[in-house]
Structure 1
């Protein structure tokens, strides 16, 4: 019996030893397989990556980026001015050795961009290859979350990116607000093209809208031997087109560090957007694995939900019983809607999404309460509000109807101006009408208008010179875009410090397009009656009623003097003999004391050369003769230092131009405002003296 027990114990220990060995063997195999999986981007060139959704994926995500419950990679969460990044957590070896060239690689991914507004999205997203996953110093908005104003264009970035951009940024020379671009260390793309694809059947180009909200496909291929980058895109259900959207020759061996990370970056601006990635694949020295669309997670539903089947069955059966209730509800709704009734005519149908419901604006401003009032002027009151659907902060301006001005033409121009996108112009989001009022809806600028900083209490901090000069250059850039770069000529007609608004980063943005007018390039630019603000009106506008870009230049010249001197153009409360700012600056110029006209609150903490240049440019822009005023392109070059101010000389500095104006039948005193003996009409030279 003892022998049997002994043999049983030996046999049991033998089985335990075998079980332990097998466990260790399988555990070793698991570690080996897992290790090989983590190292599949090895230097053997056999690396590949495939994500069919991202549930359980060990990605490195930061800021607004997250993985949703159904497996979508959400780079931005719908909040404004945010950024988000997602990277494969292990750096990849793009070279077989450190001295070798970058190998061929291929990327495929499915993405979608959605916004609360069907006609715009701020901003885009990008696939990037970078030496690090730390983008804490990057900026949202136009920098797409992986660059900033200081490092943009630096060779030390070592970044290759393919951007999917949904806004036109003049500073990056973007081609439009819906394009794909190849970026090398810089958001100035080396090559870009409108979003779309080439149909294999007809070899024709088909446009695609990046902000449609639909899922799309993108392929990025790099040929290491040919040094060729190709980017292709297509709708979700279409196979990869034969012809790429864009191709560029560039040696990425001069760009990428060894090793580098791959991933995505996205950002938003003043409007909320959401950027999604549905699937992603990567191949080193081989094509990226094919992504099975049927296995991808679904995007969130857009629009209202369908009625349930149960409700569809119950409603017909119960309709007779609830007719009385419905009738009562209809009566109550009609009475309630009268409170929010907006004026809408048949011709407004063509303007679509640009017409906002009056009810939304009423709720946004809490019924236009006084505690939401931002300011008031001769053309209406401005209220702060938050749109209920998008939570976007807006400024709502109420303007009275002008019956003599065709409302249809006026609204058509307002809607057209609403298409303008420039970083130094306040966006006009839309309009609404009710009874005798027109409501214009703009982006809300958190730091208010510039005049509040120029004319604040002396004990309060004022803007430094660097900030003032930056704002001046920004407004000049915006006006140059309006006059010469947009599809139509836009004359603002009311340029002044109170219409220059400051965003959260203290960038100057020209706003209030309620008086602006549009003209085709090359057409006769004129108006039927004078509109504007006293002190900023060009003489020819007052006498002839003819507006042109040069009347805007005149007002911009007064604006330059206003910002530099910290004084109003016409000071009705002045106690001395110089209530007219332009006369006062001209007198200082004639006396060689131009620096004494600079705002004393700057306390000599400014660049005298820049300030004097701006004052002289202001005098030149506000010259009474239009042919002596520069255009906005020349003004931009003066401000950038690319062009010296012109020499303008006349023999009689005090009365030459004034006499000439009188001989021509002009009365300079009646054209604008009471003037001293050193009237703006006496400008003869602005090139010398401080």
Structure 2
């Protein structure tokens, strides 16, 4: 006998049993009736009106609150969460081998603490396994992967528009089949039965919504329908796709929900859930659904709310003066700079205490890098167990700090596989700290600039993969995000390698952003000598084309295994990488500039193509440089390189020197001009 039958028995026979003087059984029967009113399961169907006794399999940020809500976010930053029905379901008919018809009903609500700020949504999925350890914590709903997603059906409730995934907007429902790209998607809403008119719905407007997913075995059709909670199921579905799931799903599979906890502190709640195999999913009694907390409020144990003030008061009364002294000492140790305008940035601001504990007090053993703009420490956040990198920089001047922090928070919303995720910031006294995702394999420069033979290096295939990855990331920054982002400090030491040795562009401490279609404003020159475009030295105005110039030097650096400037015994004997490569090109010996540590194990045509693209990006005149979109077309072989001789390039470089008042005997313009002043003034560069 399944639980639905027990539930029916309890409702129908309970009054009769009472009349028969079954008083000794009354407490047990009342408890059974109350429990079965919210949860019912059977082999081919189940339903949950709240999840207090659901026994779901939970991991990551997913929790069941005291009130019975399934909370997929739990107020945690950049952590994936999953909630699964505990046992796998048999989707294929044993006689035909085909995936059977099934029906799903979901009641959910997305609560956005900061209206107007987009965040990733939540997804319902059917998967062959409940192990998602290799999924990314801040992308693709914490379940999908960029490459292989076999035997996976995902219904996404998406509130973030990712151009990389070709999302239609930041408020849509999508069907994903074995891929991070939606097979079909539609703006969130529903069709009225009476008029047939389409009504828009806002997914993250703190509105309880109902989602139906139906699969018909005979028609091999997937229907997805959406409506407000108190509106019945519309006759016309929002999405209707023909796809034979027998080619996708395994014989038995797990079903559940997945999401990623975000810095925007958005909560993804599931209030009710039902499933039926070869039948309509059972109706959910909305009168028994758990209540949502207020905006920004996380449900807390009532007992804790009562005991904590009493315990605190008793502690203060008992140890009085000692507590005051300890609090004062603690405040001095973790004191921060906080101004009224920073309150709007909410979870983007980390507390100094959390960063201090994560890095074990910024101990030297956790120091992983240092440069002209600060020191970088490895850390581990205590609550989420997330590895982070903390960059400490000084800021002596408060001028422009609000603008700088505003841009840091905006850049923290960037999502791309070739960008290091900027998580947030912290200010303390004369310090500014930027918090990033930690990249375990460190920076690219340590793999291509070394002298000892026992140090690791990258083969050509890995280098070319890194080059294409950084080019893709720059294209996203320059053209595909909602604003134009100019990085301003592209070099090998700012390219980090993830677990799979993919290149990720990091260190956005100097980045500037502005609206598409507008001109960047002039600013003080910042960056690194050797990577500065000539017009940036003259005007101080950074643009996507100054990034292209730095990327050109980066191409030469990675391919040749050399820094932009090699020191000689005197200033006059310095060797500039661009001069050296141009000279070899002019002598038809371009392949001899490729890093000798590769021992000839590389594609000559591919390496020479990269070198020529690098020289083209280093053109002294901005208008003659390619955009990053053109660079990608050159790298992918979609467009041939324009014809240009070394003589023409050298003449144009020397002409630029004459116009700028430089000696025509020097071709490597800005690298020699140390008199232009310091380039690492953080506050002046904003």
Q: Same fold (TM over 0.5)?
A: yes
Q: Which residue of 2 aligns with 1:393?
A: 387
Determine the C-alpha separation between the residues in 2 that align with 1:550 and 1:482: 12
Q: Which residue of 1 aligns with 2:580?
A: 584
Write the deviation string for residues 215-274 of structure 1: whole angstroms up to 9, x where unpaired: 864311245677653323467x64555387831332436845796646237476999999
Write the deviation string for residues 513-556 of structure 1: whole angstroms up to 9, x where unpaired: 11111112222224322111010000111112221100000000
Q: How does 1:259-658 map to 2 (within 5 A)?
A: 261=253, 263-264=255-256, 266=258, 280-284=273-277, 286-292=279-285, 302=298, 304-306=300-302, 311=307, 326=320, 329-403=323-397, 405-456=399-450, 457-572=452-567, 579-649=575-645, 652-653=647-648, 655-658=650-653
Q: Give the 3-state SS of the residue equivalent to 2:565 in structure 1.
A: coil
Q: Is the 8 A contact 1:199 1:241 kept in 2?
A: no
Give the CA RMSD over aligned residues.
Answer: 4.7
Q: Is the 8 A contact 1:168 1:176 kept in 2?
A: yes
Q: Which moved more, 1:408-417 or 1:485-494?
A: 408-417
Q: Is the 8 A contact 1:83 1:139 kept in 2?
A: no
Q: Which residue of 2 aligns with 1:672?
A: 670
Task: Compute the displacement of 1:561 (Å).
Answer: 0.9
Q: Which residue of 2 aligns with 1:25?
A: none
Equivalent of 2:174, from 153, 168, 181?
181
Q: Quick one: structure 1 residues 85 and 477, their matched pair in 2 at CA, closer, same or farther if it must change by over 3 Å?
A: farther
Determine the C-alpha separation between the residues in 2 that align with 1:116 and 1:103: 40
Q: Is the 8 A contact 1:164 1:179 kept in 2?
A: yes
Q: Which residue of 1 aligns with 2:124?
A: 126
Q: Quick one: structure 1 residues 65 and 345, their matched pair in 2 at CA, closer, same or farther if it must change by over 3 Å?
A: closer
Q: Quick one: structure 1 residues 592 and 344, their matched pair in 2 at CA, closer, same or farther if it must change by over 3 Å?
A: same
Q: Which residue of 2 aligns with 1:218?
A: 211
Q: Which residue of 1 aligns with 2:34?
A: none
Determine the C-alpha separation between the residues in 2 that align with 1:475 and 1:270: 25
Determine the C-alpha separation between the residues in 2 that align with 1:309 and 1:262: 37
Task: Compute the displacement of 1:50 (Å).
Answer: 4.0
Q: Which residue of 1 aligns with 2:103?
A: 106
Determine the C-alpha separation between the residues in 2 that align with 1:63 and 1:354: 24
Write the deviation string for residues 79-122 of structure 1: whole angstroms up to 9, x where unpaired: 96797865753523469956x9x775421235689999998988
Q: Is the 8 A contact 1:116 1:389 kept in 2?
A: no
Write the deviation string for residues 625-678 of structure 1: whole angstroms up to 9, x where unpaired: 11111001111111222222111248x448522443245345374841249xxx
Q: Is the counterpart of residue 248 in structure 1 residue 240 in structure 2?
A: yes
Q: Quick one: structure 1 residues 312 and 577, their matched pair in 2 at CA, closer, same or farther if it must change by over 3 Å?
A: closer
Larger radius of gyration: 1
Q: Quick one: structure 1 residues 240 and 387, their matched pair in 2 at CA, closer, same or farther if it must change by over 3 Å?
A: farther
Determine the C-alpha separation between the residues in 2 that align with 1:64 and 1:160: 21
Determine the C-alpha separation between the residues in 2 that align with 1:328 and 1:351: 35
What is the total number of aligned residue pairs between the two structures? 617
Determine the C-alpha separation between the residues in 2 that align with 1:398 and 1:309: 37
Determine the C-alpha separation between the residues in 1 that align with 2:404 and 2:146: 38
Q: Is the 8 A contact 1:621 1:629 kept in 2?
A: yes
Write the deviation string for residues 50-95 of structure 1: whole angstroms up to 9, x where unpaired: 4567899999x79989998999999999996797865753523469
Determine the C-alpha separation between the residues in 1 that align with 2:108 and 2:339: 39
Q: Which moved more, 1:581-590 or 1:328-337?
A: 328-337
Task: Compute the displacement of 1:189 (Å).
Answer: 0.4
Q: Is the 8 A contact 2:72 2:261 kept in 1?
A: no
Q: Is the counterpart of residue 191 in structure 1 residue 184 in structure 2?
A: yes
TM-score, scaled relative to structure 2: 0.75
Task: Compute the displacement of 1:310 (Å).
Answer: 6.4
Q: Which residue of 2 aligns with 1:92?
A: 91
Q: Which sections of structure 1, spanning at least 5 residues, go unmatched?
A: 1-39, 42-46, 676-690
Q: Is the 8 A contact 1:181 1:193 kept in 2?
A: yes
Determine the C-alpha separation between the residues in 1 that align with 2:216 and 2:626: 50
Task: Compute the displacement of 1:603 (Å).
Answer: 1.7
Determine the C-alpha separation between the residues in 1 that align with 2:500 and 2:366: 22
Determine the C-alpha separation between the residues in 2 that align with 1:658 and 1:314: 76
Task: Compute the displacement of 1:203 (Å).
Answer: 6.8
Q: Which moved more, 1:265-274 or 1:574-583?
A: 265-274
Task: Compute the displacement of 1:420 (Å).
Answer: 1.5
Determine the C-alpha separation between the residues in 2 that align with 1:602 and 1:412: 44
Q: Quick one: structure 1 residues 655 and 257, their matched pair in 2 at CA, closer, same or farther if it must change by over 3 Å?
A: closer
Q: Which moved more, 1:291-300 or 1:250-259?
A: 291-300
Determine the C-alpha separation between the residues in 2 that align with 1:440 and 1:287: 51
Determine the C-alpha separation between the residues in 2 that align with 1:275 and 1:592: 61
TM-score, scaled relative to structure 1: 0.75
Task: Compute the displacement of 1:385 (Å).
Answer: 1.7
Task: Compute the displacement of 1:337 (Å).
Answer: 0.7
Write the deviation string for residues 18-70 of structure 1: whole angstroms up to 9, x where unpaired: xxxxxxxxxxxxxxxxxxxxxx99xxxxx6554567899999x7998999899
Q: Give the 3-state SS of the residue equivalent to 1:441 in structure 2.
A: strand
Task: Compute the displacement of 1:334 (Å).
Answer: 2.9
Q: Give the 3-state SS of the residue equivalent to 1:189 in structure 2.
A: coil
